[in-house]
Amino acid sequence: MIDFLIPTPLIIGLLLVPFCGLFLIKRTTYRKTGIALIVVSLGFVLFAFIGFLLSWLTVSILDAHPDGEALKS
């Protein structure tokens, strides 16, 4: 069984990063730091989306999923 409570603080922290970047852009003089935080957070979202897309394509095209016949002994 997957425990969903373990990565919860990490996910909350990753969701707060773009808001911290927007705060730095709007309220302080650290504009470049705010832009960098937003770019890094969008890069992480893009990385997660590409990973999901590749795993979905692997399952649908190659029919290689974790509960497949190849893994059963």
Query: Domain residues of the chain, as ranges?
Result: 14-64
Q: Of 1-5, 6-10, 26-30, where does mean pLDDT reach its minimum?
A: 1-5
| Reported pTM | 0.56
Cα angle vertex 25, ends 21, 41, to 5°? 25
- Interhelix angle for 8-27 vs 31-62, to 10°? 140
pLDDT digits (tens, 9 = 90+) for 9-39: 777 877 888 888 888 888 888 888 888 888 8
